[in-house]
Amino acid sequence: MMKLWGRPTSTCTQRVLWTLAEAEVPYELTLASATMGENGHVWLGHTPYGGVDTLAYLAMNPNGSIPTIDDGGFILWESNAIVAYIARRYAPKKLFGGSEQIFAHTLKWMMWVNYSLEPAMSALINHLERLPAGKRSVQVVEEWRQVMVEKMTLLEGQFARSPYLAGEAFSIADIPPAIAIQRFEHCRLDRPRLPRLENWLARLGEREAFRRHIAPRDKHFS
Ligand SMILES: N[C@@H](CCC(=O)N[C@@H](CS)C(=O)NCC(=O)O)C(=O)O
């Protein structure tokens, strides 16, 4: 069975959990993290799940980060690479229409998320939730909120061209952006109305995998 190391509150792990659910691949999750545990962040005095600083783990993933998978001895880290691997190996038709061109578009959006949405969401979650109260900055929150609004407005424009990010159908291109944006929605920060983006998120919200791994607030804030 596929083995996955990570934590359900990490956006990178959520990408893999959502993809595994869509591809209907059974897996065994080992909770692992240097920074987060059952009750929250080490910055707030909580105990992390651990498991990422052992020699065995570092031999699989020298970064000591999550997620990592072991699929019958094939070991891989870097969440978007894992998502692409699972899609290609287990559900190419469902997850990118079995088309090399659509697959290339999915890579484009998955890479875009890492430099467009992730830095913003990382700063927001830290300054709203994970840092001790005295270290949180309202100004930092406002700066990154504006970045999120700018990037979500870019997506609003994309949805005028196609109902999903890589075209007419759901694909792995939608997974990393939707996770970041769902997290932003849970932050309850101001943003303009973005009707097409809201409609896209509502359509994704009908998917069982999204309901289970991404929608609940405690998947982002515990
Ligand atoms: N680009 C990497 C980032 C890996 C990464 O930084 N993962 C975060 C969680 S999203 C992590 O390991 N955080 C520290 C921890 O929980 O130990 C990926 O997408 O896999």
Give the number of other CB atoms < 10 A from CB of residue 207: 18
pLDDT at 114: 98
Count how many domains the chain has: 2
Give residue 86's domain range. 2-90
pLDDT truncated to tens, each residue of the chain (222 aa)?
999 999 999 999 999 999 999 999 999 999 999 999 998 999 999 999 999 999 999 999 999 999 999 999 999 999 999 999 999 999 999 999 999 999 999 999 999 999 999 999 999 999 999 999 999 999 999 999 999 999 999 999 999 999 999 999 999 999 999 999 999 999 999 999 999 999 999 999 999 999 999 999 999 986
The CATH number of the domain holding residue 170 is: 1.20.1050.10
**Whether residue 176 sits in one domain with residue 83:** no
**Whether residue 190 sits in one domain with residue 148:** yes
Query: How far apart are the CA of 170 and the centre of ligand 1, in A?
Result: 25
Query: How far apart are the CA of 67 and the centre of ligand 1, in A?
Result: 7
Of 163, 166, 202, 201, the closest CA to residue 181 belongs to 201
Give the number of other CB atoms < 10 A from CB of residue 28: 10
Task: Name residues contacting ligand 1 (CB within 6 A).
Answer: 10-12, 33-36, 52, 65-66, 78-80
| Residue 90 near residue 26, CB atoms below 8 Å | no
Domain presence at residue 189: yes
Domain presence at residue 181: yes
Domain presence at residue 126: yes
Q: In angstroms, rounded to a whole number, what is the distance separating the alpha carbons of residues 161 and 214?
A: 26
* Domain boundary, last residue among 90, 125, 153: 90
Domain presence at residue 133: yes
The CATH number of the domain holding residue 18 is: 3.40.30.10
Q: In angstroms, rounded to a whole number, what is the distance separating the alpha carbons of residues 114 and 111?
A: 5
pLDDT at 71: 98
Query: How far apart are the CA of 64 and the centre of ligand 1, in A?
Result: 9
| Residue 156 near residue 166, CB atoms below 8 Å | no
**Whether residue 207 sits in one domain with residue 107:** yes
Query: How far apart are the CA of 220 and the centre of ligand 1, in A?
Result: 14
Structure tokens belonging to residue 112 = 């875009």
Taking the CA atoms of 180, 185, 191 and 194 in sequence, report the sign of the dihedral they define: positive
**Whether residue 142 sits in one domain with residue 80:** no
Give the number of other CB atoms < 10 A from CB of residue 33: 21
pLDDT at 222: 67
Domain presence at residue 221: no
Q: Residue with the nearest Cα to atom 1 of ligand 1?
A: 78
Domain presence at residue 220: no
pTM of the model: 0.97
Using CB atoms within 10 Å of the CB of residue 90, give its burial: 0 to 12 exposed, 13 to 18 middle, 19+ buried. middle
* Domain boundary, last residue among 90, 117, 145: 90
Domain presence at residue 125: yes
**Whether residue 151 sits in one domain with residue 184:** yes
Q: Residue with the nearest Cα to atom 15 of ligand 1?
A: 33
* Domain boundary, last residue among 90, 106, 124: 90
